[in-house]
Structure 1
Amino acid sequence: MANVKPDPAPSKWRYRLERLWLTPLFRALVRTGIPSFTLVFLFAWYINDPHRIEAIRTGWQNAVDAVQDRPEFMVGLLRIEGAGQQLQADIQEALPLELPISRFKLDLAELRAELEKLDPVRSVELRIKSGGVLLLRVTERTPAVVWRGEDGIDVLDAEGHRVATLDSLDAAGALPLISGEGAAEVVPEALTLLRSADPIRDRLVGLVRIGDRRWDVILTGGTRILLPEVAPAAALDRALAMHEARDVLSRDIAALDLRLPRRATLRLNPGAVAELKRMQQVQRLSYEEAEDG
């Protein structure tokens, strides 16, 4: 029986599969699409369990903590420079910080914002130095005046920012006193007037803001210098010149009114008014007697 050679031609289904394999879209689907879909399906099935998700999250956090909490990354000391003893205590109380702590868990911008909320702090610089030291370099506000307002007694700096709150004026020391509505908003102008009043510093009690428009200078004995709303420093210089020439502020007066630029008005105390009337009456009687004689 003669050997029958196999037909080299492919079968019908094999032919169709080979033709389909030559299609680029089919090859991409088999090589990339199906494996990718399978991986996504398996991943979605795996993480669809809350316990597995929590385990993944815990494992990742533990790995991160293991790196961040290494000894070379830990901050264990706090050093404060430029602050007084009381401010240092206030800073340590205000800082939301428990040492030791990893430097990766320190938000220096947030710490700076918290510290600058303290009244005595003008600015603060934070740095992490070698050896695990957190350095705070503080610039304090300089007290300039004491402001007595409706809500209490505050110490202000030269810009009108609050430095501290006092229980009484006795704790103010040698700081000048200002009061009145709106006085805290014009501290630079008040300081200019206080510098101008330096020649009568021994008699100066303070400044009072009137109607949030102008100032009165208060002297010992209750004498007032009423300054105008415009150019108060120039008016105060004029009052001091009058005092130097005629010793006006040493007289028994209640007020020296300079609100009108071209006219200064003296307001006498009641005792001085009575004495003036008595002297005028004596002078009138003397004049009448001279005429009768």
Structure 2
Amino acid sequence: MQPLSLKLNTQYGGDPAPSRINYRFQRLWLMRSFRLFTKLILPVFLCLAFIIFCFSNEKTLNFFKSYSSNAIDSFADRPELLIKLMSIEGASQPLERIIRDTLPISLPISGFDFNFTNIREVIESLDAVKSVDIRVISGGILKIRVLERVPEFVWRKTPKELFLLDKAGAIVGQVFNRAQRSDLPFVTGAGADVALVEIANFINLLKPIEDRVVAYSRISEDRWDIVLDSSQRISLPSEEPELAVGQFLILNQSENILDKNIERIDFRNKQRLTLTLKDNEINN
């Protein structure tokens, strides 16, 4: 038998163990606080240090200001960002003219210089405007969609002030004489603007004699008088006035009471109807 000979290879490339520095770093990396410091705290600190350094130097600060201002201006002045035209929808011609004259803008204007909030507040401050929607559409067109209040009543607030009201009692505009809107029901007296719902009910009930109704007068902010032609007046109670109007219509249909020499038909006392003649008073 041949003897076995064992040869040891004592030549190798190097020690596979990590270096001391690498070993210590690996040990540190296992610590959660060290990883947090390396990934978050250190970068933030370096960024803050750089920012403080830059802004503490006046020349560097002026450079950044000038550069950012020029960049914003060059971007804002691009033709595709300019608002060139204005379109107003949903407004009558008089209101459209008022809106165009009131808006504090001069077209064309950059979209970066356009203050949507300010423009919306200016338009909504107009009495005739209920709500407004503002947006910029393609082509550089400022589109203003207006929901206009519709006048439904003429209100004499004081002997020298006439206002147009919508059905909710909001002021739409002002007129200078009744003839300007003679097509609308006429209401008078303090507090009439907050009780227009009752007027709408009266109008529906009084259709048989609507051509004789002159005005609806609010008395002491509590009840209504219906003023008719020929200086006649119907005094309604503060409670259930519609019921009193219905009773009046029945009475007029059966007795033709409006054709008589009566000045006032008083329903304020539910227990007794009072008729006032133009010369004296008679109670029923």
Task: Assess same fold via TM > 0.5.
Answer: yes
Q: What is the rounded CA distance, in whole Å, between the counterparts of 1:40 and 1:124 in structure 2?
A: 45
Counterpart amino acid of residue 255 in structure 2:
R
2:127 to 115, 119, 127: 119
| Identity of matched residues, % | 32
Given the superposition, is the C-alpha separation of residues 51 and 167 from structure 1 closer, same or farther in structure 2, using an over 3 Å criterion?
Answer: farther
Q: Which residue of 2 aligns with 1:88?
A: 96
Partner SS, residue 146 of structure 1? strand
1:75-224 equivalence runs, <5 A = 75-150=83-158, 152-224=161-233
Which structure shows the bigger proportion of residues in helix conformation? 1
In the alignment, the residues of structure 2 paired with residue 124 and residue 265 of structure 1 have an alpha-carbon distance, to the nearest angstrom, of: 51
| Counterpart for residue 69 of structure 1 | 77
Higher mean C-alpha displacement, 60-69 vs 40-49: 40-49
Choose from 193, 216, 238 the match for 1:229: 238
Structure 1 residues 38 and 248, CA gap change in structure 2 (3 angstroms): closer
- Cα 1:63–1:236 change in 2 (3 A) is same
What one-letter code is carried by the residue in structure 2 that aligns with 1:238?
Answer: Q
Counterparts of 1:20-31 in structure 2 under 5 Å?
A: none
Check 1:111–1:223 CA distance in 2 against 1; reply closer, same or farther (3 A cut). same
Q: Within 5 A, what are the aligned runs for 1:7-26? A: none
Runs (5+) with no aligned partner, structure 2: 1-19, 29-33
Amino acid at match of 2:81: F
- Which residue of structure 1 lines up, in the alignment, with residue 15 of structure 2? none
- Once the two structures are superposed, residues 151-178 of structure 1 have per-residue CA deviations (whole angstroms, 9 ceiling, x without a partner) of 7110001111111111222212211110
Aligned amino acid, residue 115 of structure 1: I
- Please report how far the alpha carbon of residue 43 of structure 1 lies from its aligned counterpart in structure 2 after TM superposition: 5.0
Cα distance in 1, alignment partners of residues 44 and 147 from structure 2: 60
CA change 1:242–1:107 in 2 (3 A) is: same
- Which structure 2 residues correspond to residues 50-61 of structure 1 after superposition, within 5 A? 52-61=60-69
Per-residue Cα deviation, 1:91-149 (whole angstroms, up to 9, x for no partner):
11222322112234434344333212211112222232211111112221111000001
The amino acid of 2:248's aligned partner reads A
AA aligned opposite 2:143: L
What amino acid maps onto 2:84 in structure 1? G
What is the DSSP-based 3-state SS (H/G/I as helix, E as strand, rest coil) of the residue aligned with 1:259?
coil
Aligned residues between the structures: 253
Q: 1:64–1:269: structure 2 CA closer, same or farther, 3 Å change rule?
A: same
Aligned to 1:240: 249
Superposed CA offset, 1:266-293 (max 9, x none):
01112xx39x9xxxxxxxxxxxxxxxxx
Give TM-score scaled by structure 2 length.
0.78
- TM score, norm. by length of structure 1: 0.75
In the superposition, relative to structure 1, how do residues 35 and 72 fare at CA in structure 2: closer, same or farther (>3 Å)?
closer
- Aligned residue type for 2:177: S
CA distance in 2, matches of 1:93, 1:165: 18
Distance 2:50 2:127 in 1: 59
Letter in 2 for 1:142: V
CA offset digits 1:178-213 (Å, max 9, x no partner): 011100111122122122222112211101111111
Which ranges in structure 1 are unaligned for 5 or more consecutive residues? 1-17, 277-293
